[in-house]
Each structure stands twice: as C-alpha cells, then as structure tokens.
A and B are shown apart, each in its own frame.
Chain A
C-alpha cells in the first residue's frame, strides 16, 4: 500500500455539508476524517502483513496477488 496522503475524496452531497460548516468546525471535522482514514490504513497494512504470514507458504503468492493494486 502506498503511504499517500490521508485525504478522502467525498461525493458532492457530503462535501456540500462539510463546506457549509463554519471554518473552525469544518477544520475539526476534516481533521477527524483524515485521522479515521489514517487509522484505517494502518489497520489494513498491519492486517495484510499478519494475514499473509498466517497462510501456508504454498498459498502466499496467490494471497499476495489478491492485494495487488491496494492503495
């Protein structure tokens, strides 16, 4: 997985709600969203490493292929 930034592209309806908030509330919410994305990425990276380690070695190559393209 690439460690790109933790910004989440929101759909236009959701983005409109965020944009409608006062600046301080908007920044606070955006920080929480980025934190949630970062947390989820960390969980997935850890889980992926551990899961691959748990499968029998003859299957590892196939399992790794499942995750090609993971961001």
Chain B
C-alpha cells in the first residue's frame, strides 16, 4: 500500500520547519507515528522557546482596539505567527478578531494553527465563516490541513463543512488523513445513501481504494459494515476496479479482515467477477495469504467463492504457487468447514492439473481428495 500517512506527516513537518517537503525526503522510511512524534515535539518546542512573546501578542488584543489587533495580525504578524498565537488568545477575542480578517488570510493562518490548542476558538467559530474558509482551503487543495481541523470540529460545523464539499474524492482524501476516527463515524452517519454511493464510485474512478480501505479499518464497525455492504452492491466495473487495486496494492489483508466481520461474503461477491479468474489476481491472493498468514480468514471465505473459482485458485497454485498447496494440505482437517468446497473444486480440475496439485501436496487430506477424484474421474477436464 502506498504510504500516504507518512507522506502527509512529511508535509506537516515541513510546514512546521518552514521548509520544502523535499528537504525531508530522507525521512520517508520512518513510520507516520514517529514522524508525528517529531512534528508534535518540534511544534511544542518552537512554541515553548518563545512562549513569553507569543503570550504577549495574545494579550495585546485585550489592551488595544480590535480593529488595531486585526491590522497587526494581518500586516505585521502574518499567517505563521498569527496561527501560532491564536491558540493563546481568549477564544471570544480571537473569534471577534477573525470577523475582521479576510477569508484568504484566515485560510493561510489555518496552515499554521495547532487545531488542538485552538479547539476553544474552533468550537465557537461561526459556521458561515468556517464554510467560507473550507472553500478557500479546498480550492487550494489543502486536504491535509482540512483533515487536522476535522479532528476537532464541533458536529454542526463538521456536517456543514461536509455538505459544502461537493466532490466525493475530496471527502475521501480528507477522511484518509483524519486522525479522530469517531469524527469519521459521525460524517459517514451524516451522509445520505447517494453520497455514500458516490464515495464508492469515486474510490473506483480516482483509484483511491487503498485510502478507502485504510480508512474503513479505522472507523467503527457499524460504519465500516455499512460502507462495505454498499461497495459490494455496486456494478461490475466498480468491483473490477476493487479487485485490480487489491491485486496491485495488496489490499487482501484489509479485505479479508472486513470480510470476516460481514454476514455476507465479500470474497464470494468479488470471486464472481471475471477479474477474479485472472491468474495475476489469484497469485496476488495466494501470495498475500502466505506472506500475511491469512489462512484462517481466507479459508473462512472459500466456501462462498464457488467451486469454479476455487478450482481456478487450485489450478493457478498447481502451476505457479506449489507451496500454497503444500501448506493447505498440511492444514486441512476432516471436519474443516471448507473441506466439501475444496472437494467440489477438485472435481473440476483436469487430470493433469490434479496430478500436479497432488505432487505439490504433503500427504494430507487435500492430497487424498485429489487422488480420490483422479481415480473416480480420471478423464475430467476443464
């Protein structure tokens, strides 16, 4: 999976350090969590080192007229310092002063505000101004900045801002970078079915499946299942794009995790799509099962795949992934739920494929099943 979380942290860290993201490329191997620790620590240190000056500017608004405070903010402090001072101001003063500042300046300031520190201001910020600033940030492509505010927005502003974002791929990008998953749950609950479907369509058309699945894994189970059920109900083109993305970006661990929670079979639904018969796709499934030790989750899904697709999996494994058959054979027990499905699939294999598969097995039940099918039906072929 592309490591967008790391990239997002590098963008945020570069902003704190007042440098280009390229200057930090040497850190792109670090996990997002470590970069976040760096960013938060440096932000705090930059604030602490100059705290008396920041608090001095914050208190300035209490002894000079509001109009003058606003002029000083816009002409003297600029967005970087204004953003760092905002969190130290009394919230009512900060909100009053924002009323005298332009949308563009406030949008610039948002890039430098620590939303957690400024939460009391954000809580009381007028919704109409918040929407105006949302639109400016959106036009500038500042989805990472917007996501930081989603974490702390009060519900009424969160919903109004969500409604103001008309492009579902923008919602997806912002949602991916949001850290507070409870806020994502609220947004998904707020969206009507048309918008939810549009989000799934955007995931397919904009190739944002990795972001969608990563986001789904972070939200509450109810919201996750609702979105997953919706995705599985989409047309063939969308499911095809999900299968291709799963193969390309190894999304199988995420899909199998979600599949395990769902009453209907995600993998069964995907397996009915033509793309699932592609040898490359099946190789990606097999490789992911082995590399990520997904045997239990995969085998929970095999009965729902249907005999034809399961036979195709066995065929590809017999030709190109023999260790998969050896391990499956070793794990298969007499009372396993997928044994009947495997036996049915074996019946569909050609004699030659059965022999290759049997040769790849250990001396377990799958090998016995392959041998038995060979003796009872030696001439079957696909």
A residues with a Cβ closer than 8 A to B are 1, 8-11, 13-15, 17-18, 21, 25, 28-29, 32-33, 35-37, 39-41, 43-44, 47-48, 50-51, 54-55, 59, 62-63, 66-71
Contacts and interface: CB of A to CB of B under 8 A. Distances in A.
A66 B59 contact: yes
B19 A63 contact: no
A36 B19 contact: yes
28 contacts: A8-B49, A9-B48, A13-B37, A14-B37, A14-B41, A14-B45, A17-B37, A32-B19, A35-B17, A36-B17, A36-B18, A39-B18, A43-B81, A47-B78, A47-B81, A48-B57, A51-B57, A51-B60, A51-B72, A51-B77, A55-B64, A59-B64, A63-B63, A66-B57, A67-B56, A70-B53, A71-B52, A71-B53
B43 to A, nearest CB: 10
A59 B27 CA distance: 48
B68 interface: yes
A36 B46 contact: yes
A1 B57 CA distance: 14
B26 A44 contact: no
Interface string B118-160: 0000000000000000000000000000000000000000000
Contacts of B44: 11
B365 to A, nearest CB: 49
Nearest to A46: B76
B146 to A, nearest CB: 23
B42 interface: yes
Contacts of B41: 10-11, 13-15, 17
A54 B76 contact: yes
Given A69-B52, A70-B52, A70-B53, A11 B27 contact: no
Nearest to A18: B38
Contact of B71 (A1, A13, A54, A66): A54
A67 B52 contact: yes
A8 B34 contact: no
Contact of B17 (A33, A44, A48, A62): A33
Given A63-B63, A71-B50, 4 more contacts: A13-B37, A36-B19, A51-B72, A69-B52
B371 interface: no
Contacts of B71: 54
B80 interface: yes
A44 B18 CA distance: 15
> Which of A28, A36, A51 has the most C-beta atoms of chain B within 10 angstroms of its own C-beta?
A51
A29 B77 CA distance: 26
A43 B78 CA distance: 9
A40 B42 CA distance: 13
Interface in B21-76: 23-24, 26-27, 30, 34, 37-38, 40-42, 44-46, 48-50, 52-54, 56-57, 59-60, 63-64, 68, 71-72, 75-76
B66 to A, nearest CB: 13
B26 A28 contact: yes
A63 B45 contact: no
B76 A67 contact: no
Interface in B334-365: none
A47 to B, nearest CB: 5
B50 A41 contact: yes
Contacts of B54: 44
Contacts of A17: 30, 34, 37-38, 41
A35 B19 CA distance: 9
A47 B27 CA distance: 33
B45 A25 contact: no
A9 B45 contact: yes
